[in-house]
Structure 1
Amino acid sequence: MKQRTIRRGKAWVYSGALILGIFSFENALAQRGQRPAQTLDPIVTKIVEEVNKNSQLEGLAFELLDVVGPRLVGTAGMTNANNWAVKKFESWGIPAKNQQFGEWEGWERGVSHIDMVYPRIKTLAGTQLAWSPSTKGKTIEGEVIALPEIKDSLDFQRWLPSVKGKYVMISMPQPTGRPDHDWEKYGTKESITKMNKERDSLSIVWANKIRATGYNVNSIPGILENAGAVGILTSNWSKEFGANKIFGARSKKVPTLDISLEDYGILYRLAQGGIKPKIAVNTSSKSLGPVPSFNTIAEIKGTEKPDEYVILSAHLDSWEGGSGATDNGTGTLAMMEAARVLKQILPNPKRTILIGLWGSEEQGLNGSRSFVLDNPEIVEKTQAVFNLDNGTGRVETINGSGFVHAYDYVGRWLSAVPQQITKDIKTEFPGSPGGGGSDHASFVAAGVPAFMLSSLSWGYFTSTWHTNLDTYDKLVFDDLKWNVIIAATMAYKASEEPELVSRERRVMPAGPNGTPQPWPAIRQPRRTGVGY
C-alpha cells in the first residue's frame, strides 16, 4: 500500500502512523525556548488546586490497602472493596452501584503456619496460594523431597509412589538471590558470566526434567496429589530482593505453598544433601462455593448530553500476595480521587462521566469485557475511556490505540494539562490497539477510543507486579497526584467536546502472510470460574 505523508500542525502522519509525537515535538520546542507560555483553563486551575491542597489519596490508600487489603475475585476482600467504593462515592454525592457480571469460586484465607521441624526448628517465609485446599486446621508433618533426575515418563511413573506422605518441591532452586542489577553493580565480569551460565544451565535442566515427566508445571501438582503427596512447594522468584510472584494453586486436594527463595533453597539443599528435612504445615482456608462477582460503577450525570459518556477506568481486584497496592490500588485510588475532584469542581459536566472499577481483571479482563457486552447503549456513545493500571508512577506514555485521529483529540485534551506534568510524556499516534493487557482493551475491541495512561515503572515488573511486596509502602503520592490531574483534566475536556470524536481505525500492519492483521475481536468474559 502506498504511504501518504500528511502534515497536521506539529505532527507528521504516514497513513495513520505517527512519526513524531505531538508532545515530543512540543518538548523539542521547549528545549529551544520556543514554547509559548501556557494559560490554564479556569476549571483546570481549580482541579490542580484541589488536588494539591485537599488530596484524599493517603486516606483512601489507608482504607483500601490497609483496612480492606487484597481483593482477590471470589473472596470477602473483593466484596468488601466493592461495598467500600460504593459508600465512598456516595459520601461525595456521586451515585454508585455494584453491577453483577458473574460469579467465581469463593475462597477464604485462614491462619497458616509453615515450619521446618527437622533437622532444626525454623519458621519459613511463605504463603498458601490462592484457592489452595487446606489442611482443615490440622498440622500435617512430612518429609520434603524434590523432583529427581528423570529419564522419561516411565521413569517418572516408577518414582511416583515415593511421594506418598511427602511435600514435593516442583520449582527450580535459584543459584543466587541477588537480582541482576546487584551483580552488575558489584560483580566481576568473570563472576557475572559464571553465574549467568550456571543459571541458564540449571533452567534448561529443570525444564527438561519437568518435560520428561510427561506433564507440565500446571498439570503436575494434580498428578502428585493423586499419588499421595501431602503438599506442593513452589518458589516463583521475581528476580528482585525478597520478591516472589504469588498466583493461584493448581492442586485440588492438598495445599500448595509458595516459599521464599532462601527458605526454599534451604529445604532443597538439605534434601539433596541426604538430610531428609521435614516441615509441619497448618492451614485453615475455606472453599465457599460460588459467590457473585461485581463491577463498581459510579456516575456524574451529564447535563446537555447525559446519554453520552466519558469513562475513568481501573480494576479494583488484585492478587493476594501483598495488598494490591500498585496493581491496581494506585489506578483505583487515582480514578476515585479524580471523580471526587470533578464532582466538586465540575458537578454538571456536558456528558456523563462514569467511573468503572472492574472486577476479575486478573483472570482475563472479565469485568470490563462483561460491561462492554452488557451495556451496548453506553458503549455506542462513549466518547473516550482513560485507563490506569500499571504501577505507582506518574504517567509516562500514551498510545493512540490505533485510532487514526487520536493525535488530534487526545492532543487537545492533553494540551490542557499543566506543562509541568506533560513535558516528559511520550505519545505514539495512532499507535496500535491493545490485545488484552488491561481493561482499555475491552473497549478498544468494541471500537471505543480507549487509552492506557501508562506509568513509570518504579521497578514494577520485578518488585511489585503480582508479588508479596505489592504493598502500601511502595506508593509515591506525588506521582499519583499528577495522575489525578491528568485523568480529571482529560475527562473534563473529553466531556466538553462539541461532538463525539472520530472512531476511524488505522490500517493494521501486515501479518506473516502479507495481509493486514485484524483489529482485536470482542472476547467473551468468563462469567463463572474456579481457581486460577
Structure 2
Amino acid sequence: MTTLHTNLVGDAYTSTHHWDLLCDLVDLDNRMAGQEGEVEGAELVKDAFETHGLREVAINEFGIPGWWRESSSLTVEHDRTHEFDAQHETVALPGTPSGDVDAELVDVGYGLPKDFEEVDVAGKLVMASSMTPDDYGRWIHRAEKYGAAARGGAVGFLFRNHLDGNLPPTGSIGKEDGPGDIPAVGVSKEVGDRLVRYCGSGETTARLTVNCRNEPATSRNIEAVVGPDTDEEVLVTAHVDAHDVGEGANDNGVGTVLVAEIGRLLVEMEDDPETRVRCLVFGSEEVGLFGAYHWAETHDMDAVKCIFNMDGAGYSRTADVYTHGFDPMGEAFAEVSEEFDVPVEIHDGIRPHSDHWPFVQKGVAGMQGRSIAGESGRGWGHTHGDTLDKLDVRDLRDLAVVFTAGVYKLAEADRELPHKSVAEIREATVEQGFEPGMRNSGTWPFDGEGQTTAAEADR
C-alpha cells in the first residue's frame, strides 16, 4: 500500500488549487523583495493556508536592504558606437549600486577561478558567461564571478546569458548590509556574443550606466502548521518573492503553491502526519536568503527535524532532490519512487544557494526539492520570460503527489533524521570545492570557531 490513500491521490491529480494560486501570484506583476507585490503575495499565501484549514497561520516581518530598479544602459565603442539600453538587451542586477563607468571591456569566458588568474581585470569592465561547464565539477554562482571581478579591481561587471533567446539574466549581487561594490548588469546571449566578438578583434571600450535605489525595506515570512503538537517539526518551505523583470512563475511561484498544496493534502489525510509539519514560505530569498536566515536565527534548531525546501521545481514532472549528505532523507524519497513507480532523481551533493542553506549550514537535515531541467542553467528563470505560459498544471499535480508522500515519510515518528555537526557540513562544503567561490561572493559562513553567520546568497 502506498503512503497516500487512493482517494487523496485522486484529489491531487484533479486539483487546481495550486494553479489558481499561481495565477493570482503572477498577476501581481512584481513580487520583488520588500516591495508591495511581495506584501500582496504574502497575503495570498496566508489566505490559502487559512482556506485549506491549516492552523496557527501568521505573517512575520523583518528588515532587509531594499533595492529598486530604475534604468541602465551600455554604450560600446568598437569601430562605431553601439547602444544597448533596451530591457531585452540589458538589465541591472539587484543589489548593484548606481554607477557610471568608462573602461576597457574584457571577457573572462566562463568566469572560472583560472579564467580570472589569466586576465588582468583591474580597472576594466569585466564580462563573464552564466554557464559553468558540465565537466567542471561544481556550479559557479553568479555572485562568485561578480565577487572575483570586484576583488580583482574591476570597475563594472556584465553577466551574459549562455542560452539562445532567453533574454538578459538578473540575480542579486548585493551584500548582507547593502549594495555590492561595483555596478553590474545582465546582458542577453545575443548581446553577449557580439561583445565577445568585439573583445576578440581588438581593444573595446564601454560605458556602463546604472541608476537604482538602495534603502532599507521590510519583508515577511508566512507560516502555518498541520499535524500533532510534537516537540519537533518538519519544515516544508519555498519563497514568495521573485525578480521584478518577470512574473516569477517558475522561480518561485511553483514552490510557493506546492507548499500550500502539500499543506492542503496533509490536512485532508485520514491519518495525520506523526510529526508536526510547518508550511513556511519565506520572503527575500532572491536578494540574500534573508527570510530563511531570519527564521533560523530566531528559532531553536533542535526543534527542527528536517527542512524540505522547494526551489527550481517547475521545469518538469520528474522530481530531482538534493540531500546534502543526509542519506535518510534520500531513502525516504527512494521509497516514494518505488511505491508510486515514478522516477525520482536523488543526489547527495551540497547546494548552498537557496532557503534550506541557512539550516543545513547549522547541521540541520535538509533537502532541496527540484524537478529535472531540460538544459543547462535556469532557462527562463531570472529573466523577463519567467512566465506562466512556460508551465503545465500536470507537472504540479505529479510533483504534489511525490513531494507530499515524501514529506509524510519524513514526518514518520520512527524515521530518524540525525543532524550533523557544523564541522561536518563545513568539511563537505570544502571537499566539494565551494569555499573559494563562497569567499569571493562574501557568503562563506564557517569562520570563527565553527560558528555560522548570516550571509547573502541565492538559487
TM-score, scaled relative to structure 2:
0.69
User: What is the identity, as a one-letter code, of the residue corresponding to 1:458?
Assistant: G
Aligned to 2:452: 523
Aligned to 2:385: 469
1:385 aligns with 2:307: yes
Q: Deviations over 1:285-309 (max 9, x none)?
A: 655x312232221222x33x44332
- Tell me the matched-pair count: 406
Mark the CA change 1:92 to 1:363 in structure 2 (over 3 Å): closer, same or farther: same
Counterpart CA distance in 1 for 2:181 and 2:414 is: 57
Question: Secondary structure at the residue paired with 1:524?
Answer: coil
**Contact 2:108-2:116 at 8 Å conserved across structures:** no
More helix by share: 1
Counterpart CA distance in 2 for 1:399 and 1:258 is: 28
Cα distance, 1:461 vs. partner? 0.9
Counterpart CA distance in 2 for 1:109 and 1:347 is: 48
Counterpart CA distance in 1 for 2:394 and 2:414 is: 34
Aligned to 1:71: 31
Cα distance, 1:330 vs. partner? 1.8
Answer with 312-321 or 499-508: which moved more. Answer: 499-508
**Contact 1:391-1:460 at 8 Å conserved across structures:** no
Aligned to 2:360: 444
1:218 pairs, out of 150, 171, 185, with 150
Unaligned runs of 5+ in 1: 1-38, 136-141, 149-169, 175-198, 224-231
Aligned to 1:490: 406
User: What is the identity, as a one-letter code, of the residue corresponding to 2:239?
Assistant: H
Counterpart CA distance in 2 for 1:115 and 1:502 is: 51
Identical aligned residues as a percent: 20
Aligned to 1:193: none
Cα distance, 1:277 vs. partner? 11
Cα distance, 1:248 vs. partner? 4.6
Unaligned runs of 5+ in 2: 127-147, 436-444
Cα distance, 1:466 vs. partner? 2.8
User: What is the identity, as a one-letter code, of the residue corresponding to 1:52?
Assistant: Y
Aligned to 2:225: 299
Cα distance, 1:489 vs. partner? 1.8
Q: How does 1:347-366 map to 2 (within 5 A)?
A: 348-366=272-290
Aligned to 1:147: 103
**Contact 1:414-1:490 at 8 Å conserved across structures:** no
Question: Secondary structure at the residue paired with 2:223?
Answer: strand
1:503 aligns with 2:418: yes
User: What is the identity, as a one-letter code, of the residue corresponding to 1:127?
Assistant: V
User: What is the identity, as a one-letter code, of the residue corresponding to 1:503?
Assistant: P
Cα distance, 1:436 vs. partner? 1.7
Aligned to 1:167: none
1:332 aligns with 2:332: no
**Contact 1:313-1:386 at 8 Å conserved across structures:** yes
Q: Deviations over 1:469-518 (max 9, x none)?
A: 322222233222111111222223333x2446241759969979xx9999
Counterpart CA distance in 2 for 1:120 and 1:212 is: 21
2:317 pairs, out of 387, 391, 394, with 394
**Contact 1:313-1:357 at 8 Å conserved across structures:** yes
**Contact 1:398-1:451 at 8 Å conserved across structures:** yes
Cα distance, 1:220 vs. partner? 9.0
Counterpart CA distance in 1 for 2:419 and 2:120 is: 51
**Contact 2:125-2:158 at 8 Å conserved across structures:** no
1:236 pairs, out of 117, 139, 160, with 160
Q: How does 1:76-475 map to 2 (within 5 A)?
A: 76-94=36-54, 95-100=56-61, 102-109=62-69, 124=86, 125=88, 126-131=90-95, 147-148=103-104, 170=105, 172=107, 208=119, 210-211=121-122, 217-218=149-150, 234=158, 236-248=160-172, 258-262=186-190, 286-287=213-214, 289-300=215-226, 302-303=227-228, 305-345=229-269, 348-376=272-300, 379-392=301-314, 393-403=316-326, 405-406=328-329, 409-412=332-335, 415-416=338-339, 418-419=340-341, 422=342, 424-427=343-346, 431=348, 434=350, 436-459=352-375, 461-475=377-391
Counterpart CA distance in 1 for 2:420 and 2:96 is: 44
Cα distance, 1:363 vs. partner? 4.2
Counterpart CA distance in 1 for 2:287 and 2:402 is: 28
Q: Deviations over 1:204-226 (max 9, x none)?
A: 79973524659974379995xxx
Question: Secondary structure at the residue paired with 1:299?
Answer: strand
**Contact 1:246-1:468 at 8 Å conserved across structures:** no
**Contact 1:234-1:256 at 8 Å conserved across structures:** yes
Counterpart CA distance in 1 for 2:410 and 2:180 is: 48
Counterpart CA distance in 1 for 2:330 and 2:183 is: 51
User: What is the identity, as a one-letter code, of the residue corresponding to 2:119?
Assistant: N
Counterpart CA distance in 1 for 2:236 and 2:50 is: 17
Mark the CA change 1:78 to 1:511 in structure 2 (over 3 Å): closer, same or farther: closer
Q: Deviations over 1:181-222 (max 9, x none)?
A: xxxxxxxxxxxxxxxxxx99xx97997352465997437999
User: What is the identity, as a one-letter code, of the residue corresponding to 2:2?
Assistant: L
Q: Deviations over 1:109-159 (max 9, x none)?
A: 45x59699x989997333344355679xxxxxx9xx9734xxxxxxxxxxx
